[in-house]
């Protein structure tokens, strides 16, 4: 992973993406490199929107080129488990080490959401919307 100077990080806004008659909440945590404090703050801010009953139940979390440590995996899983309605989560762009950390944390905490890993955002969108109709 390429390390970017913290001052040069581009923190993209998360957004709702209309797709195939549904909506996906896209959490943009990509290219945040090794700065876990930035990832945590951004994700917690996004959770304020994701928790709203009117927010989409399909959630894409883009983590491409972002370090996934145990604390990040734990935070994401705990926060998603706090949602009191059924959700589907596409985790996009994490490497094998990141998947191992997520899987380890999911075994420690029972996950109450459906999830799948993707490298291709288009396939993630299809799984979130088309496979859920």
Domain that holds residue 128: 6-132
In a domain, 12, yes or no: yes
pLDDT value, residue 16: 96
Q: Which residues are within 8 A (CB) of 128 and not within 5 positions of it... i.e. 6 or more apart?
A: 19, 22, 24, 58, 59, 60, 88, 90
In a domain, 1, yes or no: no
Question: pLDDT for 11-46, tens place per residue?
Answer: 999 999 999 999 999 999 999 989 899 999 999 999
* Count of domains forming the chain: 1
In a domain, 27, yes or no: yes
pTM above 0.85, yes or no: yes
Domain of 37, CATH number, reads 3.30.750
In a domain, 20, yes or no: yes
Query: Residues 15, 129, 36, 4: is their CA dihedral positive or negative?
Result: negative
Question: pLDDT for 88-119, tens place per residue?
Answer: 999 999 999 999 999 998 888 876 899 999 99
Neighbours of 84 (CB within 10 A): 9
In a domain, 84, yes or no: yes
Measured CA to CA, the distance from residue 132 to residue 114 in angstroms comes to: 11
């Amino acid at each position: 992973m390429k390390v970017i100077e913290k001052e040069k990080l581009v923190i993209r806004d998360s957004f709702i993406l209309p797709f195939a008659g549904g909506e996906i909440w896209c959490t943009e945590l990509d290219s945040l490199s090794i700065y876990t404090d930035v990832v945590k703050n951004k994700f917690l801010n996004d959770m304020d929107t994701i928790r709203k009953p009117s927010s989409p139940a399909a959630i894409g979390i883009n983590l491409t080129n972002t370090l996934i440590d145990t604390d990040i995996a734990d935070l994401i899983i705990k926060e998603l488990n706090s949602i009191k309605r059924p959700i589907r989560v596409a985790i996009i762009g994490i490497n094998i080490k990141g998947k191992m950390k997520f899987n380890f944390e999911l075994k420690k905490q029972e996950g109450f959401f459906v999830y799948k890993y993707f490298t291709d955002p288009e396939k993630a969108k299809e799984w979130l919307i088309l496979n859920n109709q």
